[in-house]
Amino acid sequence: MIIPVLLAGGSGTRLWPLSRKSYPKQFTALIGDESLFAASARRLSGPGYAAPVTVTGSDFRFIVTEQLAEAGIDPGAILIEPEGRNTAPAVLAATLYAAAIDPEAILLVAPSDHVIPDSSAFHAAVEAGLAAVKEGKLVTFGIQPGYAETGYGYLELGAAPAGLAPVPLARFVEKPDAARAAQMVAAGNFMWNAGIFLFAAKDMIAAFHAHAPGLIGPVEASVTAAKTDLGFLRLDPVAWGAAEDISLDYAVMEKAANLSVVPFTGAWSDLGGWDAVWREGAQAAGGVGSSGPVTAIDCENSLLRSESDGLEVVGIGLKNIFAIATPDAVLVADMSRAQDVKAAVAALKKKGAKQAEAFPRDHRPWGWFETLALGNRFQVKRIVVHPGAALSLQSHFHRSEHWIVVEGTAKVTIDETVQLVTENQSVYIPLGGVHRMENPGKVPMVLIEVQTGTYLGEDDIVRYDDVYARGQGAKG
């Protein structure tokens, strides 16, 4: 059985404003109706594949379980990184975890934000790579380049490809400039580096010992001292913090001699920018891609997206432009500047704009909420609670709350009183009142919350009991 390892901790800033630190692109439906993470998990499942090992951050742990459950996939093991340390520590942690269970384990490591439409073709490529793994090779997957892309690294093949048969890897090539990219594509022996790896756990551990021995101690200690938390495995933060922040390519793959490449000619994209989303998505006449309430007049080779039902995006005479609108931010740029979106996010962070990293909609394990109006001493929120879910039993020092149920039924606890609040009914929670809301029903429960007080921050919360064991703080 192959153990899939899903890397799901990145922030995807090049797809801002739809991808942000608080809810990155892998959990978003950028192409079709399914999130990239769910599609990746589904692609790496089926006969011959074990339950996945997912490596992610603490803020995303419940999103991972929710999306895997919706996809009907066994969640397997979910390793929580105390902080992002790049792909080398993440892959090593997953490898050590798997090897402790089965020393002969074979792992397939993949980012969870890629698009590979033909799963059968990809499975065939993985099957072809197994032959090289049995010979002790570390296998990577090369993508047949469709154009001279400067946003990808490249793999130089050591032999001419023959179907899916693994070939030796001559060297890795960093992201090139346009002229060099064109030369490599024309040469015919270079492929895009997909960042997908297949290997036996024992061989990858040996490669770390040989080429990145400094990572072994802290990562191994972090896995050994990991704590179980509601089915998640929290890697030890002290040991993890001592691990170098470095990619798997730099730490191991570029130094190892036992590398093979499986050439993959099927469709693939890492959706590394809005130009890639435009290429991979459906297009109408004139090469216009659209999503949500948009109107395009005399436009060509452009992408228009609106992420709000109440926000109409209208493009007139646009050419090679992407225009992306969310409820709190709008991005308009030339297709050729797609890679510069990351710089725009950095500029927003520098000026302190909250849109740089956070969405108006805040996802929690029980559902989500968004702010509808905010003043100096009041805030109005819409809160959606999943069926059977419950917020923590909590109190606030600086605000009182008024809840109005608009859909479904809420089970409300205020101090010693427990009551059902149905549609069009409301309840008041005084300052300091110990309270909780639950959804005892079979459909999502929606309520409007009106907060009043001197301080309305999410960190004004004291938790007394929480089914999600989040501890104290805004999210825990």
Domain borders along the chain are 2-264, 275-338, 361-465
148 close to 271: Cβ distance less than 8 angstroms: no
The backbone torsions φ and ψ at residue 427, rounded to the nearest 5 degrees and listed phi first, read -150, 150
Long-range contacts of 367-376 (CB under 8 A, 24+ apart): 367/439, 367/444, 369/449, 372/448, 374/456
CATH homologous superfamily of 2-264 equals Spore Coat Polysaccharide Biosynthesis Protein SpsA; Chain A (3.90.550.10)
Q: How many CB atoms lie within 10 A of CB 187?
A: 10
Per-residue pLDDT of the chain (476 residues), as tens digits, is 999 999 998 777 899 999 998 889 999 999 888 999 999 999 999 999 999 999 999 989 999 999 999 899 999 999 999 999 999 999 999 999 999 999 999 999 999 999 999 999 999 999 999 999 999 999 999 999 988 888 889 999 988 888 889 999 999 988 888 899 999 999 889 999 999 999 999 999 999 999 999 999 999 999 999 999 888 999 999 999 999 999 999 999 999 999 999 999 899 998 889 999 999 988 988 999 999 999 999 999 999 999 998 999 999 999 999 999 999 999 999 999 998 999 999 999 999 999 999 888 888 899 999 999 999 999 999 999 999 999 999 999 999 999 999 999 999 999 999 999 999 999 999 999 999 999 999 999 999 999 999 999 988 999 999 988 887 766 65
Whole-number Å distance between alpha carbons of 214 and 234? 21
Whole-number Å distance between alpha carbons of 393 and 436? 5
Helix, strand, coil fractions of the chain, as percent rounded to 5: 25, 35, 40
> Which CATH number applies to 361-465?
2.60.120.10
Residue 221 DSSP one-character state: H
Whole-number Å distance between alpha carbons of 270 and 176? 17
| Beta partners for residue 5, in sequence order | 53, 109
Nearest to 234 by CA among 243, 246, 221, 222: 222
Q: pTM of the predicted model, to two decimals?
A: 0.87
143 close to 264: Cβ distance less than 8 angstroms: yes
